[in-house]
Amino acid sequence: MIRSILAALLLPLLIGCSFEERQRGEIEGTVVIPEMTSRKEIIQPEGVARLPVFSSAVKSGNLIFLSGAIGAQPGVNPPQLVEGGVVPETHQTMQNIITVLDAAGATLLDLIKCTVFLADIGDYAAVNEVYVQYFPSDPPARSALAGSGLALGARVEIECIAAVP
């Protein structure tokens, strides 16, 4: 009974060790498992404000995932929002999205889905007036919601998913 319990506890450990050794090629006559290549490409254009805890976008397979963009002025460090409220912020947010898409080899036409985060749902109509200027026809699918605590005190943040062209 004790032997079977010990075997059950030690077997995963032994299997794990031998797998690690095989990966390193330390067991004579074994096949070395090559390192897996990354399945993602980081997109980080110059001038787009970001925090060191995320990438501006990640391309994986046929999709490009854009982090939430805010109306931060390009090239300003530390990042600062454009002045004037939600309308200028929304325009700058869209310009920042365009910059990231361009760095990924895509355009607004490649966007599939956007999520709009608002600090105040009362800004919904003003953001839509700006947003529609960038998508005069066939806009991407979209969700919008209000919450508090957007980065840098932003009034609007937009995250998107695009298809690789």
The tens digit of pLDDT for each residue in 62-90 reads 999 999 999 999 988 889 999 999 999 99
**67 plus 118 within the same structural domain:** yes
Tell me: pLDDT of 34 over 70. no
- The per-residue pLDDT for 46 is 85
**9 plus 83 within the same structural domain:** no
**17 plus 79 within the same structural domain:** no
Cα–Cα distance measured from residue 114 to residue 130, given in angstroms and rounded to the nearest whole number: 14
**9 plus 27 within the same structural domain:** yes
**For position 149, which CATH number holds?**
3.30.1330.40
pTM above 0.85, yes or no: no
**26 plus 58 within the same structural domain:** no
**75 plus 154 within the same structural domain:** yes
Q: What is the tens place of the pLDDT at every residue in 88-116? A: 999 999 999 999 999 999 999 999 999 99
Per the CB < 8 A criterion, the answer to whether 156 and 90 are in contact is yes
Name the residue range of residue 94's domain: 41-163
Work out the average pLDDT over 37-60. 84
Domain count of the chain? 2
**72 plus 130 within the same structural domain:** yes
Q: Is the peptide bond before 78 cis (omega within 30 degrees of 0)?
A: yes
Per the CB < 8 A criterion, the answer to whether 161 and 112 are in contact is yes
**28 plus 46 within the same structural domain:** no
**91 plus 28 within the same structural domain:** no
Tell me: pLDDT of 29 over 60. no
**52 plus 119 within the same structural domain:** yes
Confidence of residue 21 (pLDDT cuts 50, 70, 90): very low
**2 plus 58 within the same structural domain:** no
